[in-house]
């Protein structure tokens, strides 16, 4: 997988937002990652689905999406017409669903890679697939064997040692890993003593998580040979450069899109300006250049 630049969007924060697709600016992104698609349509969780917290937000959307058939019929043609590499994020509830989604995607052309959103239940162990190294390895291996597209494993930060899970994804044959997904979180209304989120718990994203995400990207990049896509609270080029220096070969902009829809382009232009200023011709001079 070779991209014209290292900036993409994080799944679930760019939607299947057809109204943006014609914008010349969107066409400049390195890649686009739409919202995770599941086998069946999902209506998502009850409101409230998003609350703002200090330097971040908690969301519990519940992967609202039209399901793989409607996605392929109604969303994919418009996404393809943007002519930016497409990374399709998918998630299954069981083996049959994962296999079913991959088989349906295999009938399509014009997809650059498939991202496995591993923050889904692992029915055997009652934890997320991304919290179980063995389950991660097996699922990646199975998807890699079936998929005609490269496989990216998206990891959860809600683990004891994310490098171990990244290693399992690499052992399973993943072409890349992406991290981090959101951190399990809560916010409570002290007057009502109820959670401020309809689903009671949710996932924390935004600048609040960035230092932990940078740390995790650093650990993973030092542990595996496959490329790392870094994300978590990237608001500007400076933040993105932290991830690149830590070892990410690509960065994704998520929560920032809710504040500034132009954030991914600002990040891209900021990286270009940094390179010009510092007389750097090749982004590889930045990637993994952390001095210790």
Ligand X SMILES: Cc1cc2nc3c(=O)[nH]c(=O)nc-3n(C[C@H](O)[C@H](O)[C@H](O)COP(=O)(O)O)c2cc1C
Enumerate the active-site residues: 120
199 touches ligand X (CB under 6 A): no
Nearest distance, CB of residue 65 and ligand X, angstroms: 8
Q: Which is nearer to ligand X, 49 or 280 (CB)?
A: 49
Q: Give the span between the Cα atoms of 221 and 166, in whole angstroms.
A: 9
Quick check: helix, strand or coil at residue 243? helix
Q: Which residue is nearest to ligand X (CB)?
A: 12
156 touches ligand X (CB under 6 A): no
Which positions from 167 through 196 interact with ligand X, judged by CB under 6 A?
Answer: 181-182
234 touches ligand X (CB under 6 A): yes
75 touches ligand X (CB under 6 A): no
* CA neighbor of 84 nearest in space, from 111, 117, 114: 111
Residue 119 has which token pair? 């923050």
31 touches ligand X (CB under 6 A): no
Q: Which residues pair with 194 in a beta bridge?
A: 189
Distance between first and last Cα of the chain = 29
Relative to beta strand 50-53, strand 56-59 is antiparallel
The contacts of residue 210 (CB under 8 Å, 6+ apart) are 232, 233, 234, 239, 242
* Residue 153 CA: distances (Å) to CA of 50, 75, 78, 225: 25, 23, 25, 14
Q: Give the span between the Cα atoms of 238 and 231, in whole angstroms.
A: 13
Q: Which of 7, 26, 32, 63 binds ligand X (CB under 6 A)?
A: 63
Nearest distance, CB of residue 180 and ligand X, angstroms: 6
Nearest distance, CB of residue 69 and ligand X, angstroms: 18
Q: Which is nearer to ligand X, 35 or 219 (CB)?
A: 35
209 touches ligand X (CB under 6 A): yes
Q: Which is nearer to ligand X, 30 or 254 (CB)?
A: 254
**Of 120-128, 145-153, 162-170, 252-260, which part binds ligand X (CB under 6 A)?**
252-260
Q: Which residues bind ligand X (CB under 6 A)?
A: 10-13, 35-36, 59, 61, 63, 89, 117, 154, 181-182, 205-206, 209, 231-234, 253-255
């Amino acid at each position: 997988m070779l991209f014209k630049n290292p900036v993409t969007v994080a799944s679930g924060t760019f939607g299947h937002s057809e109204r943006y697709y014609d914008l010349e600016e969107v066409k400049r992104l390195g890649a686009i990652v739409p919202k995770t698609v599941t086998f069946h349509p999902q209506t998502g969780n009850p409101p409230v689905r998003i609350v703002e917290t200090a330097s971040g937000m908690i969301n519990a959307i519940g992967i609202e999406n039209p399901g793989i058939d409607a996605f392929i019929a109604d969303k994919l043609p418009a996404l393809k017409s943007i002519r930016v590499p497409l990374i399709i994020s998918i998630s299954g509830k069981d083996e049959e669903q994962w296999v079913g989604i991959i088989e349906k995607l295999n009938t399509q052309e014009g997809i650059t890679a498939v991202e496995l959103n591993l923050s889904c239940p692992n029915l055997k162990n009652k934890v997320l697939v991304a919290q179980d190294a063995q389950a991660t390895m097996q699922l990646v291996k199975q998807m890699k064997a079936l998929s005609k597209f490269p496989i990216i494993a998206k990891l959860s930060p809600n683990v004891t040692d994310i490098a171990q899970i990244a290693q399992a994804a690499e052992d399973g044959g993943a072409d890349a890993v992406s991290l981090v997904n959101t951190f399990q979180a809560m916010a409570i209304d002290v007057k009502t003593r109820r959670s401020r989120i309809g689903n009671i718990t949710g996932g924390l994203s935004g600048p609040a998580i960035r230092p932990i995400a940078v740390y995790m990207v650093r650990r993973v990049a030092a542990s595996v040979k496959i490329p790392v896509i870094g994300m978590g609270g990237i608001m500007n080029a400076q933040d993105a450069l932290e991830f690149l220096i830590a070892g990410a070969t690509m960065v994704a902009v998520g929560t920032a899109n809710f504040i500034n829809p132009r954030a991914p382009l600002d990040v891209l232009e900021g990286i270009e300006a940094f390179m010009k200023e510092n007389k750097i011709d090749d982004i590889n001079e930045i990637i993994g250049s952390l001095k210790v």
